[in-house]
Amino acid sequence: MSILDNRPGLTAEVYKVAEVTGYLWQKGWAERNGGNITVNITEFVDDEIKAMPAIAPVMKIGKVLPYLKGKYFYVKGTGKRMRDLARWPMQNGSVIRICDDCASYEIIADEPVLPTSELPSHLALQNYLLETGSKYKATLHTHPIELVAMSHIKRFLKGDTMTKVLWSMIPETLAFAPLGIGIVPYALPGSIELADATLEAIKTHDVVLWEKHGTVAVGLDIMDAFDQTDVLCKAANIYMCARNMGSEPDGMTDEAMKEVQDVFNLPKKRPC
Ligand code: 13P
Ligand code: ZN
């Protein structure tokens, strides 16, 4: 028996996650257990799911997140591999319910797979998305090689320097990531400090880059969050290819970028 049985909507959403985790592995962004995913699945919850008991002891989130009360999430398991999740999503992830205290959660299905160690960051973002009435349901943390490499170079970490370089590599970057990439200085993986800094940075950016670690993106669904990361990583890849040919790339001119901004009427804020 699985929570996915006879629930085509929920099954489709979970298998979208499985498809994306396959891409993460193929791209080399998901070594071992690297990266994690959370999807708000509350819209698929029926009375039978609401009545499901906890199958593991209640756990603390480490933060109080008032907008998450009674919400349900599919979450990657800590220590689980993306490449395994691609084939067996319910053995490498679980469904959790946020308790009434808004500070703890319980696992309800299918197996007592402990959620990712980055749960504080994921849930802090999910809380913000609900607070702002956003339609975004998915959060993705991954280890994209080129973006992490750039985060080791000091000059890229100042203000919007990295965003400008990435935008200038190919017009689509500006079009699809008009808020750019926000930098979060290095913090311990899984820490509340990292979660708090990520939350601040995502308010004004499409994707957040954890210095010397990885990215965090939000999206309408997991495919969308993957695309946001992929668009920025592609630009970083182009930058490095040009550097490998022996030159600093020219980049699009400021006028060319302004033209893209104006013609496509790009948002200065994330649409809800
Ligand atoms: P988990 O296996 O706990 O999800 O951790 C992977 C990771 O990328 C931590 O930042
Ligand atoms: Zn990580």
- Tell me which residue of 104, 103, 45 sits closest to 72, measured CA to CA: 45
| Residue 271 pLDDT greater than 90, yes or no | no
Tell me how long the chain is. 272
Distance CA 248, CA 240 (A): 9
Cα 118–chain centre separation: 11
Ligand 1 contact via 79 beta carbon (within 6 Å)? yes
φ and ψ at residue 77, rounded to 5 degrees = -80, 145
pLDDT digits (tens, 9 = 90+) for 161-170: 999 999 999 9
Residue of 33, 210, 215 to test ligand 1 pocket, by largest number of atoms within 8 Å of CB? 33
Share of the chain above pLDDT 90, in %: 96
| Residue 209 pLDDT greater than 90, yes or no | yes
- How much is the pTM? 0.98
Residue 267: the pLDDT is 84
Ligand 1 contact via 118 beta carbon (within 6 Å)? yes
* Average pLDDT of span 165-183: 97
Ligand 1 contact via 116 beta carbon (within 6 Å)? yes
Contacts 24+ apart (CB under 8 A), 43-48: 43/9, 44/7, 44/9, 44/10, 44/13, 44/72, 45/72, 46/7
The answer to whether 249 and 243 have CB atoms below 8 angstroms apart is yes
Residue 269: the pLDDT is 80
Residue with tokens 């994707």: 207
Per DSSP, 111 falls in state: S
- Whether 118 is a known active-site residue: answer yes
Give all strands of the β-sheet with 138-142 in edge-to-edge order: 59-60, 104-109, 93-98, 72-76, 36-40, 138-142, 214-219, 207-210, 181-184
Residue 259: the pLDDT is 95
Per DSSP, 77 falls in state: B
What is the 81 CA–ligand 1 centroid distance (Å)? Answer: 9
Which atom of ligand 1 approaches the CA of 142 most closely?
8
| Residue 107 pLDDT greater than 90, yes or no | yes
Ligand 1 contact via 78 beta carbon (within 6 Å)? yes
| Residue 25 pLDDT greater than 80, yes or no | yes
| The two structure tokens encoding residue 62 | 């480490």
